[in-house]
Amino acid sequence: MIRCQGVSVSYDGKAAVEDVSFEVEAGDCVCVVGENGSGKSSLMKCMLGLLKPSAGEISFDGLKRSEIGYLPQQAGIRNDFPASVYEVVLSGCSGRYGPFAFYRKEDKARAVMNIERLGIAPLRRKSYRDLSGGQRQRVLLARALVAADKLLMLDEPVTGLDPMIASDMYAILESERRAGKTVVMISHDLKSAILYGNKILHLRKKAQFFGPSSEYVNSDPYRRLNGASND
């Protein structure tokens, strides 16, 4: 579905990602792990077309960017939207038509279905800016699910959430994968990344490991990162 070949990213002449190559196959759940500053978000933004790689190539096979749902880090999102929860979730359909298109009946039904699925139906008419952090994250995940026909890309989707809400969100992502969606997820939650991901990409600017989760747990990069996270 996605092939990254020798991808590098630089900011002001400093390398954030160096010569990374890997492939995402349909039905995968690829969890991208690594320490802070290891290039995870930069690589994801390149895959989304939000950043241009300084070297290398990213290619898609049978996938359009309009078929991708994206959940960015909460820290990079404006929280003062005057729009309602329903309007934010429905806007996930905008990539299919452009900013001035009218939403269709099936788009609205899809938005309502995901609002109910994320347990935020009572908040439907509330302003997004009046929500708590956990409520906002559920709204943004619902928006990403509305957008995602084939692929979900998630940047630390459970950061700052309490364990019960995080568990609910992981369960939803697992059900999406079982329904045929592909997932690429950045995570600092190493235990859950191994539990839910069938493949792990470990970054430290360069790819330290890429392969099945079952092999990753026996690798040196895992032992180093797991030791650091337990300190």
**SS3 (DSSP) at 26:** coil
β-sheet bridge partners, residue 211: 200
Q: Which residues of the chain have pLDDT under 70?
A: 74-79, 81, 98-101, 228-231
Q: Both tokens of residue 104?
A: 């269709």
Would you say residue 194 lies in a domain?
A: yes
User: What CATH number does residue 205 fall under?
Assistant: 3.40.50.300
Please tell me the total count of domains within the chain.
1
Residue 124 in any domain: the answer is no
Range of the domain at 225: 1-63+151-161+186-231
Q: Indicate whether 157 belongs to any domain.
A: yes
Residue in the structure block whose two tokens are 């630089």: 10
The b/e string for 46-70 (b: 16+ C-beta within 10 A; e otherwise) is: bbbeebebbebebebeebeeebbbb
| Residue 99 domain flag | no
* pTM score, whole prediction: 0.89
Write 38-42 long-range contacts (CB < 8 A, 24+): 38/203, 38/204, 38/205, 39/9, 39/203, 39/204, 39/205, 40/155, 40/186, 40/203, 41/73, 41/155, 41/186, 42/9, 42/11, 42/16, 42/17
203 closest CA partner among 13, 11, 62, 21: 21
Where do we find the tokens 């928006």? Answer: 143
Asked, for residue 96, whether it belongs to a domain, the answer is no
The pLDDT of residue 77 is 59
pLDDT of residue 167: 86
Q: Is residue 98 part of a domain?
A: no
Tokens of 59: 């290619």
Residue 72 within a domain: no
d(CA 79, CA 72): 13
- Residue 158 has what pLDDT? 82
- pLDDT for the residue numbered 229: 65
In a domain, 174, yes or no: no
